[in-house]
Amino acid sequence: MIEVKNLTKRYAGVTAINDLSFEVGKGEIVGFLGPNGAGKSTTMRILSSFMPATAGTASVAGYDVFKQSLKARRHLGYLPENVPLYTDMRVDEYLHYRGSLKGIHGRKLRDRIVDVKELCNLTDVERKIIGTLSKGYRQRVGLAEAMIHEPDLLILDEPTIGLDPNQIRQVRDLIKNLGKRHTILLSTHILPEVEMTCTRVLIINKGRIEASDSPANLLAKLRSASEVTIEAQTGADNGGDQLSAIAGVKEVTLQPGEDDWKKFILRVDASSEIREEVFRMAVNRKWNLRELSRSRATLEDVFVEMTQAD
């Protein structure tokens, strides 16, 4: 659905994206991640034919976004970052206007307006002027507008920014549902959202692709895939020495605790399970144990590891 080859964009000397190549297949929901200024919005703007690239090619639904821009745009619904809307129009009026711009008319358009209003929970504000709506409603008006012509591809730039937790959940469910019929490329900073909705993650940093894989695979690959937290009174023992001797433990860090409680954070291989062994050791050495827990790395850890400047 999307094909990007060696895409580069320079603004007045600054390279926003550098030699970017990736593909998005039909039916995928791809999360586009990266720190602010990494080039996410620029890439999305090029894909939606809003600005031309400096070098390289990109195509949407088989049409080059620059040479066959009108055809490419017909297959695309795009929600820009700040959700620009005509604040002087009513919701219904706006959806009608945008629908006919995108080439649907008459009864079909009326049906679609009813559908998208229902999908995005806009029916109760259909007669309101957009300028008077709250951020959350505006966001959903933008989303409704982006999908009004049932595009093959939806490009959503931070679709959940400015929404409250309930609305975020609604939009997330909406995106999941849309994913059954549409291909979706979305950017966001809310990482749990990506883990829940996306089939694939693209991480971009300083204009380059750092990773492209399913959320599960990315987590498995991560160095700090798993952590075990232990809080114990180790008595005469130092604790750290004994724990690092356990097979599979890569690193032990000691955090100061209250009284003589010590808190150890163990980095372990994602595959190995060491909690039982820690427990036996504690019994044998007469340690008092009050916490023994394991936490999985989250996408956030992956993100931080891949994009932090080192």
Strand order in the sheet with 249-256: 249-256, 262-268, 226-233, 288-296
What is the distance, to the nearest Å, from the Cα of residue 226 to the centroid of all Cα atoms in its chain?
21
Residue pair 290/282 in contact by the 8 Å Cβ criterion: no
Q: Which is nearer to other proteins, 68 or 212 (CB)?
A: 68
The angle at the Cα of 196, spanning 142 to 118, to the nearest 5 degrees, equals: 35
Closest C-alpha to 289, from 257, 266, 262? 262
Q: Which is nearer to other proteins, 47 or 228 (CB)?
A: 47
Residue pointed to by tokens 């730039």? 157
Min dist CB 22 to other proteins, Å, is 20
DSSP output for 161-215: TT--HHHHHHHHHHHHHHTTTSEEEEE-S-HHHHHHH-SEEEEEETTEEEEEE-H
Q: Which is nearer to other proteins, 117 or 149 (CB)?
A: 149
Q: Which is nearer to other proteins, 134 or 217 (CB)?
A: 134
Phi, psi of 43 (to 5 degrees): -60, -45
Min dist CB 37 to other proteins, Å, is 16
Q: Which is nearer to other proteins, 87 or 134 (CB)?
A: 87
Dihedral (CA of 209, 212, 215, 216) sign: negative
SS3 271: coil
Q: Which is nearer to other proteins, 10 or 285 (CB)?
A: 10
Min dist CB 72 to other proteins, Å, is 9
Residue 66's alpha-carbon distances to 19, 51, 146, in angstroms, are 17, 9, 20
Residue pointed to by tokens 């490009």? 155
Q: Which is nearer to other proteins, 153 or 249 (CB)?
A: 153
Min dist CB 81 to other proteins, Å, is 9
Q: Which is nearer to other proteins, 71 or 169 (CB)?
A: 71
Per-residue DSSP letter, 238: -
Min dist CB 197 to other proteins, Å, is 23
Min dist CB 146 to other proteins, Å, is 9
Min dist CB 40 to other proteins, Å, is 15
What is the distance, to the nearest Å, from the Cα of residue 126 to the centroid of all Cα atoms in its chain?
30
Residues at the contact surface with other proteins, assessed by CB under 8 A: 11, 45, 48-52, 70-71, 73-74, 76, 78, 80, 82, 84-89, 97-98, 100-103, 105, 145
Min dist CB 138 to other proteins, Å, is 12
Q: Which residues contact 174 (CB under 8 A, 6 or more apart)?
A: 119, 120, 143
